[in-house]
Amino acid sequence: MVWPAFPDDVASRMLALQYQFEQSQWWPVEQLQTVQLQQFAQVFRQAVTRSPYYRRLFAAQAAIGIASWADYRELPVSTRREVQHAGTDLHCDNVPAAHGAVGRTESSGSTGSPLVTLGTAWTQFMWHALLLRDHLWHRRNLRGKLVAIRSTKGETRMANWGPATAAFVTGASVVRGLSMDIDEQLHWLVRENPDYLLAHAVNVHALAARSIELGITLPGLKQARTYGEMLRPDTREVVRAAWEVGLADTYSCEELGHLALQCPECDAYHVQAESVILEVLDNDGRPCVPGETGRVVLSSLHNFAMPLLRYENGDYAEVGEPCCCGRGLPVLRRIVGRQRNMLSRPDGVRHWPSFPSQRWLDIAPIVQIQLVQDALNHVAVKFVMPRDLSADESLRLTAALQECLHYPFRMTFERVDAIPRGAGGKYEDFVSKISG
d(CA 401, CA 380): 11
Q: Which fold is adopted by the domain 342-432? A: GMP Synthetase; Chain A, domain 3 (3.30.300)
SS3 190: helix
Residues 6+ apart with CB under 8 A from 388: 415
pLDDT of 386-408, one tens digit each? Answer: 899 999 999 999 999 999 888 99
Partners of 175 in beta bridges: 148, 156
What pLDDT does 111 receive?
A: 44
- DSSP codes, 111-136: TS---EEEEEHHHHHHHHHHHHHHHH
Let me know: does 314 contact 81? Beta carbons within 8 Å: no
Burial 85-114 (b: 16+ CB within 10 A, else e): ebeeebbbeebeeebbebeebebbebbeeb
Q: Please give the pLDDT value at position 425.
A: 55
- Pairing of the two strands 378-384 and 368-375: antiparallel
Burial 158-173 (b: 16+ CB within 10 A, else e): eebbeebbbbbebbbb
> In this predicted structure, what is the pLDDT of residue 23?
98
Question: pLDDT tens, position by position, for the chain (436 residues)?
Answer: 778 888 899 999 999 999 999 999 999 999 999 999 999 999 999 999 999 999 999 999 998 889 999 999 999 999 998 999 999 999 999 999 999 999 998 775 544 457 889 999 999 999 999 999 999 999 999 999 999 998 788 899 999 999 999 999 999 999 998 778 888 999 999 999 999 999 988 889 989 999 999 999 999 999 999 998 788 888 999 999 999 999 999 999 989 999 999 999 999 999 999 999 999 999 999 999 999 999 999 999 999 999 999 999 989 999 999 999 999 999 999 998 766 667 888 988 877 777 877 788 889 988 888 899 999 999 999 998 889 999 999 999 999 999 988 899 999 999 998 887 665 556 678 888 885 5
Burial class (CB in 10 A: 0-12, 13-18, 19+), 19: exposed
- For the chain, the domains span 9-104+274-329, 342-432
CA 370 to CA 337: how far, in whole Å?
A: 16
Instruction: List C-alpha distances in Å: 282 to 294, 297, 344.
Output: 5, 11, 19
The identity of residue 205, as a single letter, is: H
CATH code: domain 9-104+274-329 is 3.40.50.12780
* Cα dihedral value 12, 16, 22, 24, nearest 10: -160
